[in-house]
Structure 1
Amino acid sequence: VGGGVETEAKVLQLVQAGARVVLISPCEHPTLEPLAQSGAITWHRRAYQPGDLEGCMLAVAHPADKSQNAQIAAEARARGVWLNAVDDPQYCDFILPAVHRQGDLILAVSTSGAAPALGVRIKARLAEEFGPEYALYLQLLREFRPIVAAAYPESFEARKAAWYRLVDADALTLIRLGRLAEARALLWRALREEARLEVV
């Protein structure tokens, strides 16, 4: 149920997570127009009406008129729908953390509803530290999952030790310098220290 200033961000996050999104909002949301036109979301361009939560599992309430949250929450409770009312914790069944993504890396920050703005600021700091090189790093490490499993099929402790050798190798520095092939070679050398398979 949208209309507030953060409606677009919430919808985009849900779509990215694979949700089937129905947006109830009479307001203009230019960023969401392509999603509506492509069928990625269903958009009812009107204010909330009782019955709108039928068939839903989860709802996010961010209406332009915050006084509607009580009515939305009452319907959510009656239908067993989990509700997040943005900046209105008395009606929240769950909270949405500030999330920073870089490929397979997902970092979530929550202040448990006490100060969401602080969570956003912390997320910004994390974004400075964990840049796009981490997406490449995790792509590279993913290549080693079947290799480590094949090298140590019977020993969890040996697999764990191998993974720590991999992540403790300084491949990330090479990735930051754009030297991906050298980073891969470094990881192979780190694995080779104790591996029981031939590394070429």
Structure 2
Amino acid sequence: MGELRRDADLRAALLRSAAEVAARSGVGAVSIRALARAVGVSHAAHRHHFSSRVGLLTALAAEGHRLLARALEEAAGTDFREVGVAYVRFARDHPGHFVVMFTPDVLDPADGELSAARARTFAVLQGGVDALSSAGRVDDARTAVVAAWSLVHGFAGLAATGNLAGAGLAPDTGEDALLDLARRATGMLYGSPGGGAGRA
């Protein structure tokens, strides 16, 4: 295919390859020249889509936030705990995106696409906490957002890095077991829809 890959297929291939490398070897291992070789184009072909490594990683982070926001929005109509579960599921299923999204020193903070995608993600978390606040279940909405985000982000990170397993705290078997553990952990913070903290 070579130099003919100059359209959206090349952009998608570069982003997909970057996510795979980040998931496997970390953000520091992402090299735009190596990615170009991997997808079968010259090292300069990427410039049609990304002017630099920062541009590529920023686009990957924006894509990740859009995927995450969509997952959170789908869960938001049920129970606020399910928003947290969706967050953990996203981190498990998109590890390359996830690690890049939260490595700010490799991203362009002025990028409008990334800012909009981040805002969309945050709006779902904020909306869930606002609903709890309106129901009288939290007194300090700002702190509640920090607590909710910290819980699910920390849980996702511990699971992704093997630290849950290393401490003997990972569920025994099955992908759904990890999500059930996340559901019970978030229930301890905000409880079930009926308001009973800790009920599964």
User: TM-score with structure 2 length normalisation?
Assistant: 0.30
Which structure's relative contact order is higher, taking Cα pairs within 8 Å and 6+ residues apart?
Answer: 2
Greater share of residues in strand: 1
Mark the structure with the bigger radius of gyration.
1
User: TM-score with structure 1 length normalisation?
Assistant: 0.30
